[in-house]
Amino acid sequence: MKQFYGEKTFGLIDCNNFYVSCERLFRPDLANKPVVVLSNNDGCIIARSNEVKKLGISMGAPYFKHKALIRKYNVTVFSSNYPLYGDISQRVMDVLMQMEPEVEVYSIDEAFITFPKGKYLDLENYAGFLKNTVQRDTGIPVSIGFGPTKTLAKIATWFAKKKSSTDSTFVMNDQHHLETLLAGVDVSDIWGIGRRYADRLKKQGVHTALALIQCNDTWIKKQLTIAGLRTVMELRGIPCISLEKAPPVKKSIGTSRSFGQPVHALSALQEAVATYTTQAAFKLRSRGLKASIIHVFIRTNSFRKEQAQYCNSKTLTLSESSSHTATLIKAALTSLKAIYQPGYHYQKAGILLSGLVPENYEQLHLFNAPDPSSISLMEAVDTINKRWGRDTIQSGAVGLIRDWCHRQLEKSPAYTTRWSELPIVKAAPPETFSVA
């Protein structure tokens, strides 16, 4: 492979229509039938079965705009069920880690692997073996691409999905002429080139990955920054992005939601912000971290051009980092009060915690002693909420009426993560299978 530098082969394992595949695991009657999964608040379509893709419904499309089509073609609709998807994802990753020593969990539905060039004599065969093993052990169909860099492995996976053949794998090897392959890839389909950059490149006459790798490096850096230049090097076959086996240290943790209906009152925003802070603080403690910076934002609906628009945010630095829910809520509500303006239709609020340090990292305020009772209180609350559900014990600030809560009308059960929602399999005649 003369044009490919580097000693390693990279692979990308990408779950097909992942959220839809997860829902189908427990609804085998939906195989080969059109299915979509909605975003939070049932707002956008974020996963589509192949049948739905053929109807021309695009990724991220607003649900309400396609309701008629969805009804017409009898598409089954699910609200998103992240506990289910997270659990199935873990199973897929476990299978890969049993097969390969070097695995990077890149996202909920993708993993990179890498191994020395030449480890497997027949890469096509190995890709098929990997794919079949994941499918057999988890029920999730995947596509797999191999290439000499991560970016080219991504492109190989793109070819694997594009091919109408059933094997869903693609290996970039000596038989392929890299330039011929890249001539068939639109710049917008390159990992790292988003819509803005793609538009910009096309305006200047660069339409394909092949045209891009032939551009001058200085020009590329000016157009796409150093990150874009790295992408181009990878497209040329020079590895610049390495495999990250350990998940990177978190720099921020946030929670934000759109409301189920417009919100006007400060009191409702306070409940929402307190609720999001509670959730973020729980995530913080689950990762063994404390935060010292808390950022709160509120905004109106920018799609409603006819309405008065307002968005604002405020960042507060705590005198001492904390993971204590009440402390964080107090700071969040102080910021909220400072930015709240009456008279607007608010659509979304959120909080972002940063300045994260390990919980055992002590940087005490000169005059404040730590309160050991607050630590044991939080531990008790987390234990109870893990056992009985996350709403069991909460701060009074989160409210009781909560009419701002987001919608999730079509949610499937937490089949694999909640005892009360386990699927019940009934004995059935051969060749049929039903789930109650």
Partner DNA sequence: TCTGGGGTCCTAGGACCC
List of residues contacting DNA (CB under 7 A)? 39-41, 43-44, 46, 60, 62-64, 67, 106-110, 154, 190-198, 221, 225-227, 248, 250-258, 261-262, 283, 301, 303-304, 315, 347-348, 350, 352, 406
Structure tokens at 108: 């909920």
Structure tokens at 267: 């009191």
Min. distance of Cβ 43 from DNA in angstroms?
3
Min. distance of Cβ 277 from DNA in angstroms?
12
**Residue 68 or 369: which CB sits closer to DNA?**
68
Identify the helix (H) or strand (E) that includes residue 300.
strand 289-300
Strands 35-38 and 76-78: parallel
Backbone dihedral angles phi then psi of residue 15, each to the nearest 5 degrees: -70, 135
Backbone dihedral angles phi then psi of residue 89, each to the nearest 5 degrees: -55, -45
Tokens 């492979």 correspond to what residue?
A: 1
Answer for the pair 275, 258: CB distance below 8 angstroms, yes or no: no
Min. distance of Cβ 230 from DNA in angstroms?
8
- DSSP letters, 331-398, are HHHHHHHHH--TT--EEEEEEEEES-EETT-----TT----HHHHHHHHHHHHHHHHH-TTSS--GGG
Min. distance of Cβ 173 from DNA in angstroms?
23
Min. distance of Cβ 60 from DNA in angstroms?
5
Instruction: Please tell me the distance from the alpha carbon of residue 102 to that of residue 244, in angstroms, as a whole number.
Output: 9
Residue type, 358: P
Min. distance of Cβ 98 from DNA in angstroms?
22
Instruction: Please tell me the distance from the alpha carbon of residue 104 to that of residue 242, in angstroms, as a whole number.
Output: 10
**Residue 43 or 435: which CB sits closer to DNA?**
43
Instruction: Please tell me the distance from the alpha carbon of residue 265 to that of residue 429, in angstroms, as a whole number.
Output: 57
**Residue 151 or 416: which CB sits closer to DNA?**
151
**Residue 202 or 337: which CB sits closer to DNA?**
202
Min. distance of Cβ 344 from DNA in angstroms?
14
**Residue 311 or 435: which CB sits closer to DNA?**
311
**Residue 124 or 320: which CB sits closer to DNA?**
320
Structure tokens at 193: 């080139």
**Residue 5 or 82: which CB sits closer to DNA?**
82
Instruction: Please tell me the distance from the alpha carbon of residue 426 to that of residue 413, in angstroms, as a whole number.
Output: 17
Answer for the pair 44, 60: CB distance below 8 angstroms, yes or no: yes
Min. distance of Cβ 251 from DNA in angstroms?
4
**Residue 184 or 262: which CB sits closer to DNA?**
262
Residue 248 CB contacts under 8 Å (≥ 6 apart), including other chains: none
